[in-house]
Amino acid sequence: MIEGLQPYLEYKESGLPWTGRLPKHWSVKRGKALFSESHLPVRAEDEIVTCFRDGQVTLRKNRRASGFMIALYEAGYQGVRRGHLVIHAMDAFAGAIGVSDSDGKCTPEYIVADSRSEIADPRYFAKLLRLAAHQGFILVSCPAVRERAPRFRYAHFGDMLMPLPPANEQAAIVRFLEHANRKIDGFIRAKRKLIGLLNEQKQAIIHRAVTRGLDPHAPLKPSGIPWLGDIPQHWEVRRMKSLSQVKRGASPRPIGDSKYFDANGTHAWVRIADVTASNRYLQRTKERLSELGRSKSVSLNPGAIFLSIAGSVGKPMITKIKCCIHDGFVYFPYYKGVPEFLSYLLSLGRVYEGLGKLGTQLNLNTDTVGNIRLPMPPQDEQSAIVTHLDASLVSFDTAIARTEREIALMQEYRTRLTADVVTGKLDVRPAAAKLPQDSVSESLPEDTLDDAEPEETEA
């Protein structure tokens, strides 16, 4: 995507394991020689600034207001100003490092740093520190207070050795990367829009087949359900609990106890991440249970269908393996229909109408799932509909998978390009000099999807 970049003419050993060789004219300095702690007082008008794991530092209200532990008393809060380098002490290991785009206030769990002089551009060092985080350097450089969450304090930052390009080269690097990021973000947005359109078409095809069947001339009758409309006259409308009892999974407690796990166990242990990473069928998981763990959970045999009620809420899954599910799932032990037909039905967001938005906001439990009303054709017709949909949707699934792979490759390219540029493996000065003046503006994240874990904790 970016052509014509060349390495510098001369290099030297840096002595830094996470950067490798550096251009010969770059120097190496400790963080405390480049940045000081800010310690600004909080003003009455200041609103809360949050440092997110994608590197954006902004007023919390610009991204979202929910999902945080809110402080009862704002003890130790500090002022933040636009342009400050901000580091989340407990989430720095995950990349929660950036330059604030707003004035405001933040918790004492943040490092708010001022450049000591124009020789240190906060925008360059934010990108450099995020590279150090993603390479695991921050994770191993300071003590952890919880699993995979070290507290990266100013003392650790101050002692950290970092490459220091000349000020004009830092500006050129920032200019180039922000221009490249805008182009990459535009590419990713277009690809995600395409995936959205393909999924909309898929949903329309599924909706038509599972609510009207395959015979366009079949006589219809009112279903009595607003989202469903008319259905074939010989179909039934059934509540889920009339098709099968709805039961919940179970977890061995405490869940992290090693005695409940065995890499050679007979049953796979299903977590939300395993379901999120799967399509219709569950074929593998990252962990397996011991016999003791299996006895304290709920076992399912191949062919069983279950539904997520936490995390990827509303996502149905058919297991192809012996597995155990925890209480973030419900299952249907006496369902006698075609599992794939039920899977297609439950994948339609409209079956949950009135229960919340499909995804993390959907409110599901055994009662709400049991009361969902569904159109039910005879079993042979269910099989025919599944066969028809499987054939009809192949091209959509192939196109979506290809597009998702293109996004993943572009994200990998972004990571590699950033690493090569901030550590001087590529000289971007000639390319940056040709960019238009508006290329100096700060680029925004390619989306505003929230991270898998909370970005900020307030006590």
pLDDT for the residue 453: 39
Average pLDDT for 175-195 = 96
Average pLDDT for 348-353 = 86
Count other Cβ atoms within 10 Å, centred on residue 378: 12
Count other Cβ atoms within 10 Å, centred on residue 257: 12
Higher pLDDT among residues 71 and 304, named by residue: 304
pLDDT for the residue 428: 96
Q: How confident is the model at residue 392 (pLDDT cuts 50, 70, 90)?
A: very high
Indicate the domain borders of the chain.
236-376
- CA-wise closest residue to 180 among 423, 416, 425: 416
211/231 Cα distance (integer angstroms): 6
Task: Dump pLDDT digits (tens) for 234-282.
Answer: 999 999 999 999 999 999 988 888 999 999 999 999 999 999 999 899 9
16/262 Cα distance (integer angstroms): 39
Q: How confident is the model at residue 72 (pLDDT cuts 50, 70, 90)?
A: low
DSSP state for residue 135 in the 8-state scheme: T
Average pLDDT for 15-40 = 95
pLDDT for the residue 398: 97
Average pLDDT for 117-134 = 94
pLDDT for the residue 74: 72
Average pLDDT for 142-149 = 56
Mean pLDDT of the chain: 89
Give the rounded percent of residues in the chain with a pLDDT score beyond 90. Answer: 78
**What tokens were used for 423?**
């550590």
Average pLDDT for 88-105 = 94
Length of the chain: 459
Task: Dump pLDDT digits (tens) for 429-453.
Answer: 999 999 986 544 444 444 443 443 3
Q: Residue 155 is inside which H or E element, if any?
A: helix 154-159
378/217 Cα distance (integer angstroms): 17
Query: Given a cut of 90, is residue 7 above it in pLDDT?
Result: yes
Query: Given a cut of 80, is residue 54 above it in pLDDT?
Result: yes
Count other Cβ atoms within 10 Å, centred on residue 439: 17
Class assignment of domain 236-376? alpha beta
Give the rounded percent of residues in the chain with a pLDDT score beyond 70. Answer: 89
Task: Dump pLDDT digits (tens) for 189-203.
Answer: 999 999 999 999 999
pLDDT for the residue 4: 76
**Residue ranges with strand state E in 128-171:** 144-146, 149-150, 161-164
Query: Given a cut of 90, is residue 140 above it in pLDDT?
Result: no
pLDDT for the residue 358: 58
Q: How confident is the model at residue 357 (pLDDT cuts 50, 70, 90)?
A: low
213/229 Cα distance (integer angstroms): 13
Task: Dump pLDDT digits (tens) for 268-324.
Answer: 999 999 999 998 999 999 999 999 999 999 999 999 999 999 888 899 999 999 999
Secondary structure of residue 219 in the 3-state scheme: coil
Q: What is the largest CA-CA distance in the chain?
A: 81
The string of DSSP codes covering 306-317 is: EEE-SSSTT-EE
Percent helix, percent strand, percent coil in the chain, to nearest 5:
35, 20, 45
**What tokens were used for 89?**
């002490």
Task: Dump pLDDT digits (tens) for 402-428.
Answer: 999 999 999 999 999 999 999 999 999
**Residue ranges with strand state E in 196-296:** 220-222, 230-232, 236-239, 247-248, 267-270, 281-282, 287-289
- CA-wise closest residue to 114 among 57, 39, 56: 39
Q: How confident is the model at residue 142 (pLDDT cuts 50, 70, 90)?
A: confident
